[in-house]
Amino acid sequence: MNRIAFLLIVFFLLSVPSFAQFIVSGTVTDENGEVMPGVNVVVQDTYQGTITDVSGHYELTLKKKGKYSLVFSFVGYEKQIVPVKLDRSEVTVNVTMEPSVVMADEVVISAIRATEETPVTYSEIDAEEIKEMNMGKDMPYMFEATPNVVVNSDAGAGVGYTSFRIRGTDMTRINVTVNGIPLNDAESQGVFFVDMPDFAASVDKIQI
């Protein structure tokens, strides 16, 4: 009987470590000391992880002692890899996230305008002329006095479905740019002025 009891005690003592749990927890804040909810916290090289709650708190439960690395990540902040040594049942690890600096490639924004060196014929109207001619009609009427330009309005009122032709060429073959931005539709190559009521009042230069 004593032998059986001894074996049961030994078995119990050997089984205790396998049921032990070790908790690592803490709070994640930003550089200003504000708590950060939604931060990803993952045990490196494992699928075990969690996220911080609304108070910036997190908690992970691990099954055995040892050395671990916790990975903290959040959009717009540098990833933090923090080594942790679990040598007791509960360990606290607080982390401060640092904002990341994104160095993007150079972006060049350029307008598309015909110039004196461009081998095409063009006409343009500047802001002062637009102001004088803008009577509430669609933009094609800004070029009504331009040689070889014929303006058309389906309703006859100068608004709605309006278009123009240059020497018989229809809108699908005429490039229209406003402030250097092409207006021609990518599919039909035409320009639908009906979608831009009184658009002329908002531009500085129109070129055809």
Contacts of 52 by beta carbon, 8 Å cutoff, 6+ apart: 27, 28, 35, 36, 37, 38, 39, 41, 58
With beta carbons less than 8 A apart as the criterion, state whether 191 and 171 touch: yes
Encoded amino acid at 91, one letter: V
pLDDT tier at 41, thresholds 50, 70, 90: very high
The pLDDT tens digits for 135-148 are 666 777 777 767 77
Question: Which of these, 174, 156, 157, lies nearest to 165 by C-alpha position?
Answer: 174
Domains of the chain by range and CATH? 8-96 (2.60.40.10), 124-207 (no CATH)
- 57 versus 112: the higher-pLDDT residue is 57
The pLDDT tens digits for 171-196 are 777 777 776 777 777 777 777 766 66
- pTM value? 0.44
Instruction: Decide if pLDDT at 59 tops 90.
Output: yes
pLDDT recorded at residue 28 = 95
